[in-house]
Amino acid sequence: MFEDKISQLEQKTGLKFIDKNLLLQALTHRSYLNENHNWHLDHNERLEFLGDAVLELVVTDHLYKNYPNPEGEMTNWRAALVNANMLSKISSDFDLNDFVLLSRGEARDTGRARQYILANAVEAIIGAAYLDRGYEAAAKFIDKFILKELPVIIEKRLYRDSKSLFQEQAQDKVGITPTYEVLEEWGPDHARNFKVGVFLEKDLIGTGRGPSKQEAQQMAAEDALKKKGW
């Protein structure tokens, strides 16, 4: 069963692993271990940690070599390219959702938390590829699935995130810097969820939810931009 899953994912990604267990570990979410105590592999969080660093280096190297733009602009482009929203979107290019190993509870949740899990799994696959086949294999995967999104990000100015945009608009239109406050949080340690509000002084303008405070802040800012018509 798992051999078939690995083979299918290798075909979809173009990655061919020497150590198949590395790819299988990259697909193993922490929640899966809670229901499968005899599972022979660890969860994917250490691979995700490594993959995040490899991804940032490959993207930074590409930007430095191909664009003469100032550091601030390239930093914004990189952030738009490697954030959870983008990585989750990219994961659909090789149907990653069909391969991740989750607990029954996590498998039923197809909302925002699933997007975060898929984004982390993409980073874990990059980390696994780096360990198994080296920098060039990881860079080839990143170029094929992630760097291809860069021209669209630049052309459509998608690097201007909602939080930054709302702050610019609020300061320009009403002379107030927005503040953010966690209104609610719930869930186990490995799958926390947050509800965040964005305020202009004491007025609650928008709210957002997400699996991290940063994600929830972005959603709150997006909500506030819509409600203000900015």
123 is catalytic: yes
- Per-residue pLDDT tens digits for 89-101: 999 999 999 999 9
The verdict on whether residue 35 carries a ligand-binding annotation is no
pLDDT of residue 87: 95
Q: Under DSSP, is residue 140 helix (H, G, I), strand (E, B) or coil? A: helix
Other C-beta atoms lying within 10 Å of the C-beta of residue 65? 7
pLDDT of residue 90: 96
Catalytic residue among 35, 42, 45, 52: 52
Task: Tell me which residues of the chain have a pLDDT lower than 50.
Answer: none
The verdict on whether residue 201 carries a ligand-binding annotation is no
Other C-beta atoms lying within 10 Å of the C-beta of residue 16? 14
Please state which architecture CATH assigns to domain 2-155.
Answer: Orthogonal Bundle (1.10)
pLDDT of residue 83: 87
pLDDT of residue 72: 82
185 is catalytic: no
CATH topology of domain 162-228: Double Stranded RNA Binding Domain (3.30.160)
Q: What is the value of pTM for the model shown?
A: 0.76
- Distance, CA of 204 to CA of 214 (rounded, Å): 18
pLDDT of residue 56: 97
- Domain boundary assignment for the chain: 2-155, 162-228
DSSP for 7-66? HHHHHHHT---SSHHHHHHHTB-HHHHHH-TT-SS--SHHHHHHHHHHHHHHHHHHHHHH
Contact (Cβ atoms closer than 8 angstroms) between residue 15 and residue 26: no
Task: Report the amino acid identity of residue 14.
Answer: G
pLDDT of residue 171: 92
- Distance, CA of 112 to CA of 84 (rounded, Å): 10
The verdict on whether residue 193 carries a ligand-binding annotation is no
Catalytic residue among 106, 123, 132, 223: 123
